[in-house]
């Protein structure tokens, strides 16, 4: 299977560093649909949107946004990034993504996570004291809904189901990934269940995450799953342009604004001076930031370490202007993706004794 390259976005509504004004939610949502269309036309593999429930983000209903994207795209996979399953209802999640899957001709995916932002828990009447148990129970129910219909199920935090008829049914099994930040327990859960792993690396030296990948594969093998058949995605911020300087000069003011306005909980922004931003673009840093060749080199270096199947770039965090975003998407599709796929295919063929 060819190596996959995609984009994810949270739909943040960051005040523009020049004008001081954020985009309106309607403008941002329409821009995301345009970006997905451009990514599809550029030959990228996945476009994903995250879920937040705050006024500084436009996307609180990922499935609705993905359904709009489905009508403007043909081939690209459409995913959440992530679905905060702990505070949502698995029945509605399954129904919504089954609908997207049917509308898109079998292109929907779910990346399920516990949620690093917590505003959705009180909003939907959940106790943060049940944080871990909510995710475990709801993931169990979601997987049951995917596997069978009607469904009978009982947990301790949600009313039981007795022969629940869950419709519509998709024409295939919708992929469900487990999102992991830095929690070994989540890595172990994904390995035990034999579910694909979506690993967020948003700062620091990416090599520090190698033990998580090793733990995942080891746990999967111990649980009777073939690690070679399980997908791993690495997800990191970045931006690409014709040159390193151009990529930094375009994206840094917006990234810095977004890091202050939208990073973690409201009022707890994190400074990102240019020197720190550049450090994350270094060969060992987490960001995929720079020229097309720099991005290619880092993807290939990470693949040597992780042996992963997919790279997802949080492109232009902080609302880089749409014109520059469209150029970056085209560069990823035309200059980065073909080289990365070819080089990784050649490596895989050599490793397995085949031909590229």
Residues 114-166: tens digit of each pLDDT? 877 788 889 999 898 898 899 999 999 999 999 999 999 999 999 999 999 99
The confidence score (pLDDT) of residue 354 equals 65
pLDDT under 50 in the chain at which residues? Answer: 356
Task: Read off the tokens for 223.
Answer: 């649980």
Q: How far apart are CA 83 and CA 79, in angstroms?
A: 9
Go through the domains of the chain in sequence order and give each one's CATH number: 4-352 (3.20.20.30)
Closest CA to 140 of 189, 99, 92, 174: 189
Task: Kindly state the greatest CA–CA separation across the chain.
Answer: 60
Q: What is the pTM of this model?
A: 0.96
- Kindly give the pairing relationship between strand 161-164 and strand 151-153: antiparallel
Q: Provide the 10 A C-beta neighbour count for residue 309.
A: 18
| Cα 289 from Cα 287, distance rounded (Å) | 5
Pairing label, strands 232-241, 4-9: unpaired
CA atoms of 111 and 142, how far apart (whole Å): 12
Return phi, psi of residue 180, to 5°. -135, 135
* Residue 262, pLDDT score: 84
**Taking the CA of residue 225 as centre, how many other CA atoms within 13 Å lie in the half-sphere pointing to its CB?**
20
Q: Residue ranges of the alpha helices (H) in the chain?
A: 25-41, 62-70, 90-104, 120-123, 131-147, 184-193, 210-222, 244-262, 274-280, 292-306, 322-331, 337-352
Contacts of 24-31 spanning 24+ positions with Cβ under 8 A: 25/58, 28/58, 28/319, 29/58, 29/59, 29/65, 29/68, 31/322, 31/325
What's the token pair of residue 260? 């202050």
pLDDT at position 300 is: 98
């Amino acid at each position: 299977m060819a190596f996959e390259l995609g984009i994810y976005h949270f739909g943040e509504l960051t005040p523009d560093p020049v004008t001081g004004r954020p985009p309106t939610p309607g403008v941002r949502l329409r821009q995301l649909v345009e970006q997905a269309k451009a990514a599809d036309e550029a030959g990228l593999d996945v476009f994903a949107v995250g879920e937040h429930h705050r006024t500084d983000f436009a996307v609180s209903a990922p499935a609705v946004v993905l359904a709009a994207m489905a009508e403007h795209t043909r081939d690209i996979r459409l995913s959440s990034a992530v679905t905060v399953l702990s505070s949502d209802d698995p029945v509605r999640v399954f129904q919504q993504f089954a609908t997207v899957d049917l509308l898109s001709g079998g292109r929907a995916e779910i990346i399920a996570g516990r949620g690093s932002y917590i505003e959705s828990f009180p909003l939907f009447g959940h106790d943060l004291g049940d944080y871990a148990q909510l995710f475990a129970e709801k993931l169990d129910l979601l997987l049951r809904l995917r596997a069978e219909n009607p469904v009978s199920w009982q947990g301790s935090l949600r009313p039981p189901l007795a022969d629940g008829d869950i419709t519509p049914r998709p024409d295939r099994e919708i992929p469900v990934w487990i999102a992991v930040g830095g929690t070994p327990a989540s890595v172990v859960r994904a390995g035990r269940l034999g579910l694909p792993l979506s690993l967020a690396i948003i700062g620091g030296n990416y090599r520090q995450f190698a033990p998580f990948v090793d733990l995942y594969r080891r746990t999967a093998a111990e649980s009777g799953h073939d690690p070679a058949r399980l997908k791993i995605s690495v997800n990191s911020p970045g931006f690409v342009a014709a040159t390193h300087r151009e990529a930094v000069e375009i994206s840094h003011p917006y990234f810095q604004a977004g890091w202050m306005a939208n990073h973690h909980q409201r009022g707890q922004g994190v400074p990102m001076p240019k020197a720190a931003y550049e450090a994350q673009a270094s060969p060992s840093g987490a960001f995929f930031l720079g020229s097309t060749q720099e991005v290619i080199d880092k993807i290939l270096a990470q693949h040597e370490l992780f042996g992963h199947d997919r790279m997802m770039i949080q492109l232009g965090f902080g609302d880089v202007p749409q014109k520059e975003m469209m150029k970056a998407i085209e560069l990823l599709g035309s200059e980065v993706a073909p080289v990365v796929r070819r080089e990784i295919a050649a490596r895989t063929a050599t490793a397995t004794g085949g031909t590229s």
